Amino acid sequence: MDQIVVTGGGPLEGSVAVLGAKNAALKQMVAMLLAPGTHRLTNVPGILDVELMGRVLDHIGAECDTDGHSLVVEIPDDPRPEAPLDLVRQMRASIIVLGPLLARTGTASVAFPGGDDLGARPIDLHLAGLRSLGAEFELEHGTVVGRAPNGLTGAEIDLEFPSVGATENILLAAVLARGETVLNNPAREPEIQDLATQLNGMGASIAGAGTSRMTIQGVPTLAPTSHRVVPDRLEAGTYIAAGAISRGRVRVEGCLPEHLRMELKKLSEAGCEVKRGDDWIEVAGPDRPRPVDFATLPFPGFATDMQPQMVALLAFAEGTSVVTENLYDARFRYLGELMRMGADVSTEWQHAVIRGSGRLSGCPVLAPDIRAGAALVLAGLRADGYTTVSDVQHIDRGYEGFVDRLASLGAVIERRSA
Ligand code: UD1
């Protein structure tokens, strides 16, 4: 129940290095279930979500050992194919164990995840894809019980929407299915590409990751491997936005600018100076940003996980921006908190109109989810007085040392026990 207290003030200056991507590491931990033995993951962020996924793996019978940013996981010969409600509720991404457990053991019971901070979040596409591979599902007392009585067999699957989670669940089952799976319209996020790289390192045969057509040749067995997690584009984007909002100059090291093309384009349109190298990005923020319209879309569109941080910047713009959120119905919930700080915002369905103003005023706010929590801290960097952000466990889920990193860039910020 800690709080983050940030005092608005001067520009952030300096550089910060990012770690591996949360949304890649979590799925790569699950991918390990596909092969018994000792797996290793490096560049793993020290965040709450990794710890929670470790608990899911523990329940299944794995042993996880962390050493700094390295994770060693021992996967048993006979995994327990289930993820109970208390774990799934804390770690929604646990639903991804369905595919690999079905592929390895022919059965899997995973509590139905239900909704979360971002809305209802159905799993129909996950189940439809796995059904195409031969799985059968029943919802029994709130638990999705899956069986593959005849094993899994490759199929051609047309995803109605390029869902990240559905793509991963199908991929993690298809790698051990008999024959070829063709996945049309899969998610193209960099984290999917990185998952495919890890799986190919384990002996899988996946082509086309990062494109609109993936082909997977099933293999009978996979073997453990060592893999370095791709840099976190969302962590990188958050520190870049922090620099821009504070009218400072921040350089993010160890990231891949190619993974933030749309977000950098929009920051440039807003009047930020953007420089980039092979593995770094430097952004300097203007005194008053220009207004910018944007819509969130699956990669390579503007990331929904960068929407709140961009809106925090546009709250200070000289003019009106229109933002369309296409991924999550509850993603605008934080706008009420931003309005408490004085932002002039109105919403209509999935559209938000942000009339920029020269000043926000610090006050107590609640972090409703990971990215919105980070965005409220960022808004506090430039608000008058101090902003107290509560429910910071959301921020802990996705950012290692968030307060320390911002402080190292010159932010006046501290974490307090409530
Ligand atoms: C992942 C990321 C999350 C990011 C999101 C979109 C992780 C742990 N989380 O979430 O940070 O915001 O990608 O980039 O990697 N949908 C359905 N039916 C389904 C599956 C999804 O209708 O079976 C809908 C969802 O409700 C949502 C949209 O599709 O509206 C996108 O969801 P999806 O791409 O699956 O996101 P996640 O994998 O849950």
- For ligand 1, whether the C-beta of 23 sits within 6 Å is yes
| DSSP assignments along 176-232, one per residue | TSBSEEEEES----HHHHHHHHHHHHTT-EEE-TTSSEEEEE--S-----EEEPPB-
End-to-end CA, the chain: 6
Please compute the mean of the pLDDT values over residues 231-244 and round it to a whole number.
Answer: 98
Q: Is the pLDDT of residue 120 over 80?
A: no
281-333 pLDDT, tens digit each = 999 999 999 999 999 999 999 999 999 999 999 999 999 999 999 999 889 99
Residue 115: the pLDDT is: 64
Q: How far is the CA of 37 from the centre of ligand 1 (A)?
A: 30
Tokens of 277: 């190298």
Residue 358: the pLDDT is: 84
Q: How far is the CA of 17 from the centre of ligand 1 (A)?
A: 27
Q: Is the pLDDT of residue 418 over 80?
A: no
Please compute the mean of the pLDDT values over residues 67-82 and round it to a whole number.
Answer: 97
Q: pTM (2 decimals)?
A: 0.97
Displacement of CA 383 from its chain's centroid (Å): 27
| DSSP assignments along 110-172, one per residue | EE----BTTB----HHHHHHHHHTT-EEEEETTEEEEE-TT--B--EEE-SS--HHHHHHHHH
Q: Is the pLDDT of residue 103 over 80?
A: yes
To the nearest whole number, what is the mean pLDDT of the chain? 96
Please compute the mean of the pLDDT values over residues 230-259 and round it to a whole number.
Answer: 98
Closest to 320 measured CA to CA, from 286, 291, 346, 297: 291
Atom of ligand 1 nearest to the CA of 125: 23
Give the residue, by CA position, lying nearest to ligand 1 atom 1. Answer: 164
Q: Is the pLDDT of residue 119 over 80?
A: no
On the 0-12 / 13-18 / 19+ scale of CB atoms within 10 A, 254 is middle
| DSSP assignments along 55-124, one per residue | HHHHHHT-EEEEETTEEEEEE-SS---EE-HHHHHH-GGGGGGHHHHHHHHSEEEEE----BTTB----H
Give the residue, by CA position, lying nearest to ligand 1 atom 20. Answer: 123
Tokens of 220: 């009978």
Buried residues in 114-123 as b, exposed as e (16+ CB within 10 A):
eeebbeebeb
**Residue whose tokens read 């976190």:** 232
Q: How far is the CA of 165 from the centre of ligand 1 (A)?
A: 6
Question: Distance (Å, rounded) from C-alpha 288 to C-alpha 315?
Answer: 10
Give the residue, by CA position, lying nearest to ligand 1 atom 21. Answer: 163
- For ligand 1, whether the C-beta of 126 sits within 6 Å is yes
Please compute the mean of the pLDDT values over residues 44-60 and round it to a whole number.
Answer: 96
Report the 10 Å Cβ neighbour count for 269.
14
Q: What are phi and psi of 281, to 5 degrees?
A: -135, 140
- For ligand 1, whether the C-beta of 122 sits within 6 Å is yes
Atom of ligand 1 nearest to the CA of 123: 23
- For ligand 1, whether the C-beta of 165 sits within 6 Å is yes
Determine the 3-state secondary structure of 17 from DSSP: strand
Choose one of 116, 121, 304, 328 to mutate for the ligand 1 pocket test, by most ligand atoms within 8 angstroms of C-beta: 121
Question: Distance (Å, rounded) from C-alpha 247 to C-alpha 381?
Answer: 10
Do 274 and 264 touch, CB atoms closer than 8 A? yes
Residue 158: the pLDDT is: 98
Q: How far is the CA of 162 from the centre of ligand 1 (A)?
A: 9
In angstroms, what CA-CA distances link 371 with 5, 153, 353?
17, 38, 19
DSSP code at position 296:
B
